[in-house]
Structure 1
Amino acid sequence: MNQFVTLRDIVLLSLYALTSILSLIGNAFVFRISLRRHNHMWFQSTTNFPFTRSCIFLLNLAIADTLLGLTIPVEFVFCSKYFVQNITASSYVCAGNKSMQTLAYNVSTLTICLIAYDRYRLIENPLEKYYPKKPFPVILLTWIFSGLFAATCFVSTKVNIYFNSYEKLICSQILYPLRTKYFFNDTIYKIRSLCLILLFYIIPLLIITSLCLLTIRIISRRTVIGVREFQTFKQSRTRSISLLMITIIVFTLSHSPIHFIYLRDIFHSSSKVSLGRSIQITKCQDSTMYLLFYWLSISGCCYNSIIYSWFNRKYQNLVYKCCRVIVCCERCNACSN
Structure 2
Amino acid sequence: MNQFVTLRDIVLLSLYALTSILSLIGNAFVFRISLRRHNHMWFQSTTNFPFTTSCIFLLNLAIADTLLGLTIPVEFVFCSKYFVQNITASSYVCAGNKSMQTLAYNVSTLTICLIAYDRYRLIENPLEKYYPKKPFPVILLTWIFSGLFAATCFVSTKVNIYFNSYEKLICSQILYPLRMKYFSNDTIYKIRSLCLILLFYIIPLLIITSLCLLTIRIISRRTVIGVREFQTFKQSRTRSISLLMITIIVFTLSHSPIHFIYLRDIFHSSSKVSLGRSIQITKCQDSTMYLLFYWLSISGCCYNSIIYSWFNRKYQNLVYKCCRLIVCCERCNACSN
TM-score calculated relative to the size of structure 2: 0.97
- Displacement of 1:41 after TM fit? 11
Relative distance call for 1:152 and 1:49 in structure 2 (3 A) is farther
2:102–2:150 CA contact under 8 A, matched in 1: yes
Distance in 2 (alpha carbons) for counterparts of 1:12 and 1:232 = 44
- Any conservation in 1 of the 2:158–2:175 contact (CA below 8 Å)? yes
Q: Distance in 2 between matches of 1:157 and 1:233?
A: 49
Deviation at 1:179, TM superposition (A): 3.0
8 Å contact kept, 2:197–2:259: yes
- C-alpha deviation, 1:45, in angstroms: 13
Cα distance between partner residues in 2 of 1:152 and 1:78 = 18
| 1:335, distance to aligned residue in structure 2 (A) | 1.0
Give the Cα–Cα distance (whole angstroms) in 2 for the partners of residues 324 and 46 of structure 1.
16
Query: Does the 8 Å contact 1:161/1:170 carry over to 2?
Result: yes
Q: Which moved more, 1:311-320 or 1:178-187?
A: 178-187
* Conservation of the 8 A alpha-carbon contact between 1:30 and 1:59: yes
Q: C-alpha deviations, 1:198-236, integer Å up to 9, x for none?
A: 000000000000000000000000000011110110000
Question: Is the CA contact (8 Å cut-off) linking 1:205 and 1:252 kept in structure 2?
Answer: yes
The answer to whether structure 1 residue 90 and structure 2 residue 90 are counterparts is yes
Structure 1: 5+ residue stretches without partners:
none
Q: CA, structure 1 residues 103+64, in 2 after alignment: closer, same or farther (shift >3 Å)?
A: same
Instruction: Assess if the C-alpha contact under 8 Å between 1:84 and 1:279 holds in 2.
Output: no
Matches of 2:257 and 2:11, distance apart in 1: 19
Normalising to structure 1: TM-score of the pair?
0.97
Give how far 1:305 is off: 1.5
Q: Which runs of 5+ in 2 are unaligned?
A: none
Residue matched to 2:158: 158
Write the deviation string for residues 120-164 of structure 1: whole angstroms up to 9, x where unpaired.
000000000000111000000000000000000000000000000
Residue of structure 1 in register with 2:317 after alignment: 317
Shift of 1:35: 1.5
**Per the alignment, do residues 58 and 111 of structure 1 end up closer, same or farther by CA in structure 2, a change over 3 Å counting?**
same
Query: Match of 1:50?
Result: 50
Deviations 1:242-279 (A, max 9, x none): 00000000000000000000000000041520001242
* Alpha-carbon distance in structure 2 between the residues aligned to 1:76 and 1:35: 31
Partner of 1:281: 281
User: Does the CA contact (< 8 Å) of 1:176 and 1:184 recur in 2?
Assistant: no
Deviation at 1:185, TM superposition (A): 3.0
Residue of structure 2 in register with 1:115 after alignment: 115
Aligned length: 337
What SS does the corresponding residue of 1:303 show, helix, strand or coil?
Answer: helix
User: Counterparts of 1:45 and 1:25 in 2: how far apart (Å)?
Assistant: 25
Cα separation, partners in 2 of 1:47 and 1:312, compared to 1, 3 Å: closer
Per-residue CA deviations over 1:307-327 (Å, capped at 9, x if unaligned) read 101111010000000000001
1:26-105 pair list within 5 angstroms: 26-39=26-39, 50-105=50-105
Residue aligned with 1:244, SS: helix
Report the CA distance shift for 1:256/1:36 in structure 2 as closer, same or farther (over 3 A). same
- Cα 1:47–1:309 shift into 2, 3 Å: closer
* Structure 1 equivalent of residue 243 of structure 2: 243
CA contact (8 A) 1:64 1:105 kept: yes
